[in-house]
Amino acid sequence: MNNKRTAVSNLTLADEKSRWDELPQDHLAEHFMDYISILVVGKSEGNDISLIVGIYHIGGKVWGITDGAVQNTVLMITPSNQSTMRNNAFISNRIDPIKSYDNFRLVQEPDRVVWEAGNRQIVSRPPYWEIKGENNGVILDLTVGGLGDAFPYHGATWAELPTKGIAGYEQVAWATGTITAEGKTYTLEDGWAVRERSCMGKGWDLLSLLPASTSDTLSTGYFWGWCFAESIKVFCFAEPDVGHCSGRVFIGNEMILYGDGEVVAEPLEFWNDPLTKSILPVCWQVNMKSAGGTVEMVIDLRARAVTGYHLAQGYLILFPAMGRCNGRFVYPDGRSIPIEDAQAYLDRFTTIPLGP
C-alpha cells in the first residue's frame, strides 16, 4: 500500500469487522445486508471516471437465500469535454443472490480486515483502504485515504445495531491508483472517494424502504448525489415521497449538516434513454439551506449506467450517473466558496415489487 499521502479517520479495525451476527435472529431470517461499498470518481488522460465497488454479505427470505455474498462493479468512463448526456458504454452487473460467491471471506487480522469475494479484495486498514483484484472484467489497484472523521451512516452507531436494526459509517476520502478495463489501464487523477460500511436488518430491505409507483401515485424515487472539489465536498439526498432529505458539506475539517426540509432537488432537463426506454432527468437544481450556510448548485449529467438489486419479491433498478457541478456555498456572514466544474455523481432508482 502506498501510504505516502496523509490520511485521517476516526475509524478503527473494529468498525470494519463483520456485524451481521449482532442482529436478532428474527432479522437474520427475514433480511440482512452487511456490506462495504466504495464510490470513486476521478480523471485520467482526458476522461472522467466513475466507479462503484461493493461486497455484500446477505441473507434471509427477502433475498431468497439463507446466507451468501454478492458483489457489484459499475464503471463509467467518458471524455471530460463531453457536455451532454449520450448513450454511453459502461460496465455493470446486477446484485443477484443466484450469483452468490462461495469463497466469501471476511478475515480480521492484527493490522487489517479483509473482505474477499471471487477475485476481488477490499482491504481495510483505517485510515486507508485498498481495492484489489478483478470483478466483472475490471481490474483494480486503488488506495483510498480518509479526509477526516467518518459520519454515522443512517444516523446510528454500531452500538445501536441490535436495537435499531441498522448502523454504519460513511468516510469521505481521496483516491489514487489504477483501473484496468477492456485492455486499457487508467491512472487515476484528481481522485475522490466515499466509503460506506453498513449493516441493515429486518425492515431495512430496499423494497420496503423505497416506495414504488402505484395505479394512482407516481413515485419520484430518491436523489442521492455527491459533488467533489479540492475546496469543498457536498452530499445531498432527497426522498420526496416520504418527506425525508439530508445533506452534508465538507470544508476542510468542518462539516455542515442539513436535515428534513432543508434540501430541495428539482430536475431541470430530461433525456430519452434509448437503451432502457426510460425518461431520465439529466440536469438538477439543488438548494440546501441550514443555520450553517446555503448551497446553490446545478448538476449536469453526462454519462449513465444501469444496475440493480434482484430480490425474492421484486427488483430495484438503479441509474448511476456522472457529470459536473457548478454553484456555490455561502456562509451566513456572506462569505462564499465557488463550486466550479466539480466532479459529480448521482443515482436514482425504480422499484418494481412483484407482490407476495
* Range list of β-strands (E), 46-183: 47-60, 65-79, 94-95, 105-109, 112-117, 119-125, 128-135, 138-146, 151-152, 166-181
What is the per-residue pLDDT for 159? Answer: 94
Grid look-up 483502504 returns 129
- Report yes or no: 47 and 78 within 8 Å, Cβ to Cβ: yes
Count how many Cα atoms sit within 13 Å of the Cα of residue 311 in the half-sphere of its side chain. 26
Going residue by residue through the chain, which has 356 residues, state the pLDDT in tens, using 9 for 90 and above: 555 799 999 999 999 999 999 999 999 999 999 999 999 999 999 999 999 999 999 999 999 999 999 999 999 999 999 999 999 999 999 999 999 999 999 999 999 999 999 999 999 999 999 999 999 999 999 999 999 999 997 778 999 999 999 999 999 999 999 999 999 999 999 999 999 999 999 999 888 777 665 555 555 667 899 999 999 999 998 876 667 889 999 999 899 999 999 999 999 999 999 999 989 999 999 999 999 999 999 999 999 999 999 999 888 899 999 999 999 999 999 999 999 999 999 998 888 888 66
Dist. CA 241–CA 211, nearest whole Å:
7
What is the per-residue pLDDT for 214? Answer: 55
What is the per-residue pLDDT for 251? Answer: 96
- The 3-state DSSP class for residue 209 equals helix
Answer positive or negative: Cα dihedral of 195, 208, 200, 310: negative
Relative to beta strand 307-311, strand 94-95 is: parallel
Residue-range domains of the chain with CATH: 12-203 (2.40.370), 205-356 (2.40.370.10)
Q: What's this model's pTM, rounded to 2 decimal places?
A: 0.95
What is the per-residue pLDDT for 269? Answer: 95
